[in-house]
Structures are given as C-alpha cells and as structure tokens.
Amino acid sequence: GAVVSQHPSRVICKSGTSVKIECRSLDFQATTMFWYRQFPKQSLMLMATSNEGSKATYEQGVEKDKFLINHASLTLSTLTVTSAHPEDSSFYICSARVSGPNTGELFFGEGSRLTVL
Amino acid sequence: GENVEQHPSTLSVQEGDSAVIKCTYSDSASNYFPWYKQELGKGPQLIIDIRSNVGEKKDQRIAVTLNKTAKHFSLHITETQPEDSAVYFCAANNAGGTSYGKLTFGQGTILTVHP
C-alpha cells in the first residue's frame, strides 16, 4: 500500500512551547490529508482536513489557533500544536487519501506521541 | 452525520479459532467500509475494505461481509494467530460525497489470540 511517514514519532516538550509534526506521503501525491487525535484506549478522532494550497477545515470543537495546519505541497502537511499544555498530550496520526475517482482509500502514518510536561 | 458502532470491545480467542467483529452504521449514503489493525504505539494499518456494490470480500484469512439493507458489516478472521492480536477498527465513509476521505471510526475491538 501507499506509504505515509510521520516525524517525529515521539516528542516531549515543556508546557507553553510549540511542537511541529510532519506528515509526508512518500510514494504518491496527496491533495488532501487528515489529522487525527487518539487518546489511550480510545478511537481516532478527526481533528481537521488539510487541503494543499488552501486553509484547513477543522472539525467542531477543535481550536484552529491551537492546532495550526499547513499543507504547502502535495506531499507534506504539518500540524503545529501551539502553546502546548499537558492536556494536549496525545497520539497524533495523519492520513492521506490516495488520489483517484472515488477510491476513498486512506493510508495512515505511524503516529506521533506528544507528551507535554 | 455518520455514526459507527462496533462490537465487541474486547475479544479473546484461542489460536486457530475464528474471530468476528461487527459494526453498524447509520448513514445509508456511506459506501466505503475499511478495516484497520492498530498495534500498540503505531498508526492504523488498512487490512481490508469493501465497497457497497459488493457483499463479501476475502483476502487469505481475512474476510469482510456487508449487509446494506441492515447497515452492518463484519470482519472475519479465520485460523487466528498470536500475531493477529491488536486493536481493530471499522470505519465508514461516503467515498463519493463531500465528506470524501473523512472516515468515521468505530470504537475499536481489542483482539487477543492466546497461543
């Protein structure tokens, strides 16, 4: 299947700092990527849809100024958690949609575990 | 919007037995139903998917069935092995609609296969 890479896989930061997570589609172009958040033993919660060359679309309840998303190229989307606090500690996962008419297939990155001290 | 319910939340089987996980969905417009396997500390991995124009799909030990009328779909794993132990998520999406790519996930099933 298609390969989606996330970096870093783990990050620990102090409260109040900002953290950037990268999501790359390695062997295909992705006009749309998705960012999910997953708490321990819970399902994936969609945070936002990242569209190449335009503003991200955020799900209800997700603070766009808190979670900045940039999709500057067809292979890279970044999620920046600004002024991180301990409650932002979570597993962040990106996915990318394989292009094609109505394929719907999504491939996920390996996830990035954020721990805010 | 779409709502996906998944059962059971935990499933424990002996090696060699079969495992079945069931999901129901609410939006009749949904037409794409993938299943993901997630191992500890990793991202979900697509293991099989089915579209609404098909009733059943099989890939070696894994099969998925879809009942559009009842709006439910199931994952079947035969001859389970310890390495099948993981969390499994079902999902649903209207692959041709404006929510294209926005999957709604079930709650997940923790599958444990005992040697």
Which one-letter amino acid corresponds to residue A53?
G
Strands (E), chain B: 4-7, 10-14, 19-25, 32-38, 45-51, 56-59, 62-67, 72-77, 86-92, 104-105, 109-114
Segment B29-56 shows an average pLDDT of 91
Say how far apart CA A37 and CA A111 lie, in whole Å. Answer: 9
pLDDT at A8 over 90: yes
- What pLDDT digit, counting tens, does each position of B68-79 carry? 999 999 999 999
Lowest model confidence (mean pLDDT) among A5-14, B50-59, B60-69, B82-91: B50-59
Closest-approach residue (CA) in chain A for B30 = A104
Segment B19-31 shows an average pLDDT of 94
**What confidence score (pLDDT) does residue A97 get?**
80
Choose the closest CB to A104 out of B45, B95, B108. Answer: B95
**What confidence score (pLDDT) does residue A52 get?**
84
Average pLDDT of every residue of chain A = 90
Say how far apart CA B97 and CA B111 lie, in whole Å. Answer: 32
- What pLDDT digit, counting tens, does each position of B79-107 carry? 999 999 999 999 998 766 555 667 899 99
Q: Which of B104, B79, B95, B100 is nearest to B26 (CA)?
A: B104
Residue with tokens 């989307």: A77
Say how far apart CA A79 and CA A77 lie, in whole Å. Answer: 7
Choose the closest CB to B107 out of A1, A43, A106. Answer: A43
**What confidence score (pLDDT) does residue A99 get?**
65
Segment A60-84 shows an average pLDDT of 93
| % pLDDT > 90, chain A | 69
pLDDT band at A64; cut points 50, 70, 90: very high
Q: Do A1 and B46 form a contact (C-beta atoms < 8 A)?
A: yes
In B33-72, the residues whose Cβ lies within 8 Å of chain A are: 34, 36, 41-46, 49, 51
Choose the closest CB to B43 out of A1, A93, A103. Answer: A93
**What confidence score (pLDDT) does residue A84 get?**
96
